[in-house]
């Protein structure tokens, strides 16, 4: 092999190695209009004159809800609700919410029976499990509705509040972060006794 051939071979090897490094670097991070994407990003987009934005896929609510097995965190622009919409559920049970600053992100717990037929201490009620069971296996539904109502997959996805209860009948001891309530029954309840439970999405 001549000296010239060796030099050409070495140059090709170096070029291939350099291309390989560039490819690996591009796979690790991508910068658009920037050669220095932020270290915390996989994709960093810069508007050179600060006069352009990012336009994500736009679709109707029906089209959005027809997405098959949407990934947790998937976002689209809902043209019916006019909001950025994100799946905060799981692929099997998507929960689409609008990422609007002033959106009220809470819902009332479905009705459950609480045993207050006699005085007792240290009784417990698992709010999350009651909610999950009712949403997961509803007693009846409309003809075309799915078999289950989408629900938050983890008790830690929610905050738990009791906005009203009859203090003459029940004493709330504690609500833990998984929605388990410890309570005492002070006297037998009547038809006027009730309790309101609110779930707030974290």
| Domain layout of the chain by residue ranges | 54-102, 106-138+148-201
Mean pLDDT, range 156-171, rounded to an integer? 93
Residue 41: the pLDDT is 87
Burial classification of residue 128, based on how many CB atoms lie within 10 Å of its CB (0-12 exposed, 13-18 middle, 19 or more buried): buried
Alpha helices in the chain (DSSP H): 3-28, 61-65, 127-136
Number of C-beta neighbours around residue 55 at 10 A: 7
Residue 196: the pLDDT is 94
Token readout for 198 is 């609110």
Number of C-beta neighbours around residue 5 at 10 A: 9
Per-residue pLDDT tens digits for 74-87:
999 999 888 899 99
Q: Which residue has the tokens 């109707």?
A: 60
Mean pLDDT, range 35-50, rounded to an integer? 90
- Given a cut of 80, is residue 25 above it in pLDDT? no
């Amino acid at each position: 092999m001549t000296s010239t051939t060796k030099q050409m071979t070495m140059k090709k090897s170096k070029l291939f190695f350099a291309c390989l490094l560039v490819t690996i670097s591009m796979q690790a991070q991508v910068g658009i209009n920037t050669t220095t994407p932020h270290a915390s990003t996989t994709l960093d987009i810069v508007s050179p004159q600060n006069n352009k934005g990012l336009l994500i896929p736009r679709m109707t609510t029906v089209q959005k809800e027809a997405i098959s097995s949407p990934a947790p965190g998937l976002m689209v622009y809902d043209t019916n609700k006019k909001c950025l919409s994100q799946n905060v559920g799981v692929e099997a049970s998507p929960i689409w919410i609008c990422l609007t600053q002033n959106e009220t992100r809470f819902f009332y717990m479905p009705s459950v029976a609480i045993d207050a037929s006699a005085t007792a201490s240290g009784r417990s009620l698992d709010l999350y499990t009651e909610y999950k069971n009712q949403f997961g296996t509803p007693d009846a539904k409309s003809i075309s509705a799915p078999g289950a109502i989408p629900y938050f997959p983890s008790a830690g996805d929610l905050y738990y509040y009791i906005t009203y209860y009859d203090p003459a009948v029940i004493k709330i001891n504690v609500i833990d972060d998984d929605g388990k309530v410890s309570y005492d029954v002070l006297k037998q309840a009547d038809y006027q006794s009730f309790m309101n439970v609110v779930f707030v999405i974290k």
